Every structure is written in structure tokens, then in C-alpha cells.
Amino acid sequence: MSLDLPPVAPSVTAALVQGLTPRLRKRLDAGITKLADRPCVRDGDTVRIAVDDDTHLELHAPGGSVTSADAIRCGCLLAPDCLHRAAAASAAPIAEAEAEVDSGSETDAGPEADSRSETKTGPKPGPKAGSETGPETGPDAQPEPEPEPVPGSSSGSDTGAGSPPRSAPVPAAESETVTPGQRTAALAMYAATAAVLEAGTDGAGAVLQAELLRAAHTARIGGLPRVAASAVSVVTQLRAARSADPAYRLTDLTAALRDVLMTAHRLPDATGAELADLRGTARQPYVPDGSLRLYGLFSEPVLTATGYAGAVTWTADADGRLCTVSDVAPGGSGRAVGAAGRAVRVGDTALTHRELSRAGLAVSGATVSPTGRLGAGAGVRAVRAAGAAWSEAPLDRLWRVPVAEQVSRALTGTGGDGLLFLDVTLTGTVREAAGDCLLADCDGLTLRLAAAHDHPALPYRDNLRLLATAPGIRLRVVARLDPSPVPRALLVAAEHPGDARSHVDLGLDRLQHADLPAPATDSTGPAAGSSPVLLDEAPLHVLRRRVHQAASAGRRVLAFPGDSAADSRRLSRNGFACAGDLLDELHAAAADRSRDVFGRLVPADLGRFARAWLAAAHYTEEVDRSLCAAAWGAS
């Protein structure tokens, strides 16, 4: 999409699309495509689009986003019920809801997911992007400040990565059982998501997206911010897929769809603590934490598919507790690269993110969120202090924790956003579907270190290629766990190859050949570029591929005549009898089309197909987590 449009609230988009006649709804996707080619001019808070020589469309965003349908005006004869207003709203980014407010006066502006998504400089272990109301990073998802998504991401991402709405906080005194309104909202969300799953990315146009946004708005005002955030993440991923956005990842869409369906499925019958978790929280509270002495660890860029960018700096206190300082706002890759040079927003310190990652911070009157974000309220004071090298106390204690224990903590989501602190020896490279990744030895365990983000403006891949030319060097690294059947992690920072007292933020700094030590002439390790023998992996990809195909192409791709018995038998032979049954049910649900008394096909049972797909998606996720734990030797 070439238009530079302000973000539009989900409820506005849903209302404008619903107001169209059936004939105009059929033309909405074509209208969006035509609108993208029209001249667009921004004048302060107003964006003006020339629909034709005599007609102009205006979007008014006095607060940075369009929050009411009246703020989109068109001069054509069919206005206000014209196609142009709905097309503009559907083409614009999805607006974040009210920003989270610290216990002081600071407001953190930023995206979703991440879930776990995300999208997110990398995928978030444990629940995927969009699965939590407050994922910190994500996939393509990368770490993401409040308001939170939903990996990447992972990426982001981004990571993420949609963001949970903030304008309707959940009432302080919640019932122990779901309310009738919340049950209705959950059922509507399930139905809207099932329709998107049935259609796939190609069929889920602006109309189905608007229905999902309407369900998200209903869920938000009903006190269900978690599922509302995940639904917005699904719409964001659908738009990225349909516009051929290079940041789009099918795994992120699958994770977001799975989280929406799972949450909406469980909500009507949940009670107590489970219900509170499924509802999520509209705001994360900042609580006083006294005085803190923090040591900079590293900084990483944030670049999400939802249009947010910036940087997050990780710090640790003397006890090894991790805290983050973030600066994320609407923007692109330029902001992600430049944010590291901006001053951190804590107290009156003039430290930039890049400087803080190598220095320290003394904070008084500190406020910290449950996810470890430092507040920046009026009562917070902060001054620069001495930092510490990774090999010095107190930071070295992070690397002394056994790797298996770190992986267990990452898989259970008990803190650290999936970060792993590892001592590795580089041994070569191995080719994967997404490109080459580093091979490294970690206490006898062969692991793969991949780039945390693929965007060409970020130097992750260039730095990994350079490190691959120096096998045999031993480094301390910080990576984010990437659950898979083989030990794999996303590399975010590394000890400087030529200076053990310094480190390199691999998403912000660029290594040079002069930074690498001279190659050892007696090295016996594998040469860079070697491809070791790959381990035999469980054939779970047979089921996972069908899950991804359905998310991408819809129900019909699995309804074609064919015999899934061979794949089911293969899964059963390898100890995955349950996976074989799930595969059979998925194909049967996709092909289930009955006829009425006149022999006409009746509409497909979307509920059955959604349940079969959700069971298969949930099963593959849990098996992946178990295989990941086994590969790392974690409990």
C-alpha cells in the first residue's frame, strides 16, 4: 500500500464496511487497490486523497489517528455511504487504542504482540504472537513496548507480533465466571475467525477483515482485551499477506489464528484464574520498586509488521533481574535504526539506548511493570552510572545458569522473554529454508544461531555472515529461544570478537573484518560453510504443513479428493498416532459438504472445520515445545 494514511480505529473500519450495500461490498477490495494509486497529500493532521479530478477524500486525525467515522469525508455523490470511505479505512493501518499510562505521567507509545508475536524481532517462546495481552517481543517477531500486541517477531515482530486495545479497561471487580456479554463476544469472535480460516488469505478480503475487527471491538468493550488484541493481529497479518509485504510470515498468521480460536473457544466455560488469564488486562500496572542499580546488557531494534519501530534496551540488576527501557512509535526501518541514538525516557538522564547498553543507571523512585518495563513517571529520577562487562559481576551470573534451566524458563514463559545467555564456539554454517545460519557448540550441544530479523536495513544477517567466516572463535552471546525439534536460537547480541570487555548489538552495530581475530592455522573444526549431517526429525511436518496450508489457502485446499491414509500411517509408525487421527479429521471436516432435500450443497460446517484445525494446530505447537525441551535437555 503506497498511501501514507493515518491509523484508523477498528470500530470505524467495521462501521464503514457494514454501512455498504451488498453490491458495494463486492467491489471493496478492488476499490482499495484503485485508491492506492491515487495522489495523496498530508497537511498537518489531515490527509487528502484525489479520488478523481473533481472528488477528494479527507481523513482527519487530530490525535494522530482516526477515531470516528465522521472524520473520514468524501465529496462524491454517494457519500456518506460511498465505497471510498470504507476503502480508505480498510487501506489504513489499524490504530492502537489508548496508550498505557505509568504510575507517573509517562505514556508508553508503541505496538502489539505479539504474541509471544508478534512479530517482534523474533518469535517468542511459549505462547505465540498475539497469545498474551502483553508480549514483550516478538517473532518476527521482537520485543515490543506498551501498548502491546502481538511476535514477530517476530518478528515483527513484529514480534511480533495487533495491539490490545486500551480505551476500555476491564472493571476492577470482575466476576469469577464469564458474563453473558463476554460469552456472546467470544462466540462472535470464534465465528468471525472461523470464516477467515475457511476463506484463507486470498479469500479474506476487506469485508471479512471488517467483521473480525467488529468482533475485536465488541470484545474490547466487553472486557476481553487479550482476544481483541489477537484478532487485530490476525487482520494485520492478512493485510500483509494480501499486499505481498516481505515482512509477512505464514507462521505468524497461523499462531495468531490459533490464539484467537483457542481463547474464544475456552472463554465461555472458563472460571477463576483461567478466566482472568483468558480475559487479559487492558493495562499493566506500574508498581513502586524503590531504588535500582542497573547494568546495561544490550539493545535491539524493534520493527513490526504493524507499522511500529524503535529500540529496546535490556538491563539487569545485581540479582540478575532483567528490566527494559523502550522507545517505540509509529515508523519504519529508519526509525528502528535511528532509535538507538535517542535518549532513554527514564528520569533526566541523557544516555542514549546504545550508550545505556554499555553503561549503567542508578534509578530512584523507580516504577516497574510486571513484565519488567521501567516506568518514566514524574517521580522517577535516574543518573548515569558505571557499567559492567559481560564477564564481570554482576552480569556474569546470567551466563552461569545452566542452559537446560534457561530453556525450561523460556518455554514456560516465566521471565526474560525467552532470552538465553550462552557461551558458544562457532563451528560453521548450515543451510536452512530461510538461508544459512551459524552452527555453534555449547557445552557439547550443537545448536543453530539464526538472524533475529530479516529486514535488509538491520545488520543481523550481514553480521552473521561475517561471524561465519571465523570458525573456532569462542564468544558469549545473547539469543532468543526459537522452539524447534533441534536446538535453535535467534542471535541478538554477542561479545566483541576482538575485545572481551565489549559487546556488539547485532541488530544495530556492524562488524568489520578487522574486528575478527586472525584465523588459527591449526584449527581442526569444520570449515565455514560446511553442512553437517542433519538429524532425523519426527515427521510432524506432515500435519504442520496441512495446518499452514489451511491458514493460507482456506478450507477448500484440504477438501480436494485425495487419500491422507499414507500420511496418517507414517505418523502412526513414528509414534504419532494422535497426529494421524487429527490429520484424518482435518481432511474429513474440510470435505464435509452435505446436501439438502433438493440435492443442493448446504453451507460448509465451519464450526467443525475450525475445531479440527485448532486441535491440529494446538497439537503441533505442544509437540514442538516438547521436542524443543528434549533437544536442549530441559525438563
pLDDT one-digit tens code per residue, 480-489: 999 888 899 9
pLDDT band for 11, please (50, 70, 90 cuts). very high
Query: Which one is predicted more confidently, 411 or 123?
Result: 411
Where does a domain end: 68, 91, 114? 91
Identify the domain containing residue 506 by its residue range: 399-515
Q: Is residue 437 located within the same domain as residue 495? A: yes
In a domain, 384, yes or no: no
Q: Is residue 511 located within the same domain as residue 415? A: yes
Q: Is residue 555 located within the same domain as residue 500? A: no
Sheet containing 56-60: order of strands: 40-43, 46-50, 56-60, 72-74
In a domain, 263, yes or no: no
Q: Is residue 510 located within the same domain as residue 555? A: no
Which residue has cell 560453521? Answer: 428
Predicted local distance difference test score (pLDDT) of residue 360: 92
**CB distance 143 to 136 below 8 Å:** yes
- What pTM was computed for the model? 0.80
Q: How far is CA 134 from CA 114, 245, 303, 585, in A?
A: 8, 25, 17, 34
In a domain, 160, yes or no: no
Nearest to 237 by CA among 152, 358, 347: 152
In a domain, 143, yes or no: no
Q: Is residue 418 located within the same domain as residue 485? A: yes
Q: Is residue 497 located within the same domain as residue 563? A: no
In a domain, 325, yes or no: no
Most confident of 58-72, 123-137, 324-338, 551-565: 58-72
Q: Is residue 32 located within the same domain as residue 83? A: yes
Where does a domain end: 91, 121, 149? 91
Number of domains, the chain:
3
Of the listed ranges 43-57, 131-145, 393-407, the one predicted with least confidence: 131-145
Where does a domain end: 59, 74, 91? 91
Q: Is residue 556 located within the same domain as residue 505? A: no
**CB distance 111 to 151 below 8 Å:** no
**At 417, which CATH number?**
2.40.50
Q: How far is CA 342 from CA 121, 305, 381, in A?
A: 19, 22, 18
In a domain, 183, yes or no: no
Helix (H, G, I), strand (E, B) or coil at 611: helix
CA distance 362 to 355: 14
Helix (H, G, I), strand (E, B) or coil at 193: helix
CA distance 55 to 38: 11
Answer whether residue 284 shows pLDDT above 90.
no
**Per-residue pLDDT averaged across 215-235, rounded?**
93
CA distance 286 to 305: 27
**CB distance 150 to 113 below 8 Å:** yes
Q: Is residue 586 located within the same domain as residue 506? A: no
The per-residue pLDDT for range 183-192, each reduced to its tens digit, is 999 999 999 9
Answer whether residue 631 shows pLDDT above 80.
yes
In a domain, 197, yes or no: no
